[in-house]
Amino acid sequence: MTTSEGRRPGTTAASGTPLAHKRLKALLELPLLIAAALVITLVVKAFLAQAFFIPSASMHPQLLEGDRVVVHRGDIVVFPSPAVPAEKEGIVMRLAHDVLESVALRDPGDRELIKRVIGLPGDTVEGRDGHVFINGRRLFEPYLTGDVVTSDFGPTRVPEDHVFVMGDNRTNSHDSRFSDIGPIDIHTIVGRAIARVWPPTRTAFL
């Protein structure tokens, strides 16, 4: 039996390939496409950039709750909180969480923090008279608003391979000034925030 155009039912006009065969081929390719997307996501996260959800007010006014940033290695840094024990997860669950966090669809909560690097390895960091002092000299901080006052702390010497981090919102930031956070091992740093990408009305380089 043929149609009025001379084709057998269930075939395409161009090649005569059965439509069912094309559908089956698409179904077989779908898992490969999903796997490729997962690999690309993880590679981008590990070597290029990663989106992070801003969960708290500790970086006001530069970063607000709900903003998202893309991170590379460097200045305003993202790192796992030393104060929060690492979750015990299976490989599949950890992979799923990594993928969701890498595209900013999962909030890591307090497990990951974003702060500004203040002291480098070997520096002595101190808070006094409302300001930060590095090795006895007042630190110039143009990124802070004029009403920010830093509480007294230290002096604290930053160990080798560590950095001293603080939030820009000094009165509402859990950072290296606290004993459960302390200086951060540079090997645990995920990367540096270079741009705010969400919401669209607040996109900007940091």
pLDDT at 110: 62
Mean pLDDT is lowest, of 59-68, 168-177, 197-206, for 59-68
Give the start-to-end residue ranges of the domains of the chain: 18-48, 50-205
pLDDT at 71: 45
CB 52, CB 78: distance < 8 Å: yes
pTM of the model: 0.58
CATH superfamily placement of domain 50-205: Umud Fragment, subunit A (2.10.109.10)
User: In angstroms, rounded to a whole number, what is the distance separating the alpha carbons of residues 67 and 131?
Assistant: 27
Mean pLDDT is lowest, of 26-35, 47-56, 137-146, for 47-56
pLDDT at 116: 92
User: In angstroms, rounded to a whole number, what is the distance separating the alpha carbons of residues 55 and 114?
Assistant: 9
* Higher per-residue confidence, 78 vs 6: 78
pLDDT tens readout for residues 72-118 = 643 788 888 887 666 665 666 665 655 555 545 555 556 678 899 99
Evaluate if residue 160 carries a pLDDT over 80.
Answer: yes
CA neighbor of 201 nearest in space, from 66, 93, 4, 79: 66
Radius of gyration of the chain (CA): 25
User: In angstroms, rounded to a whole number, what is the distance separating the alpha carbons of residues 162 and 185?
Assistant: 4
The question of whether 173 is a catalytic residue gets the answer no
The question of whether 115 is a catalytic residue gets the answer yes
Q: What's the pLDDT band for 175 if we cut at 50, 70, 90?
A: very high
Q: Would you give the DSSP letter of residue 24?
A: H
CA 42 to chain centre: 13
Q: What's the pLDDT band for 46 if we cut at 50, 70, 90?
A: very low
Out of 58, 102, 173, 176, which one is annotated catalytic? 58
Angle at 138 between CA 137 and CA 142, to 5 degrees: 140
Q: Where do the H-state alpha helices sit in 45-160? A: 91-102
Out of 56, 81, 102, 115, which one is annotated catalytic? 115
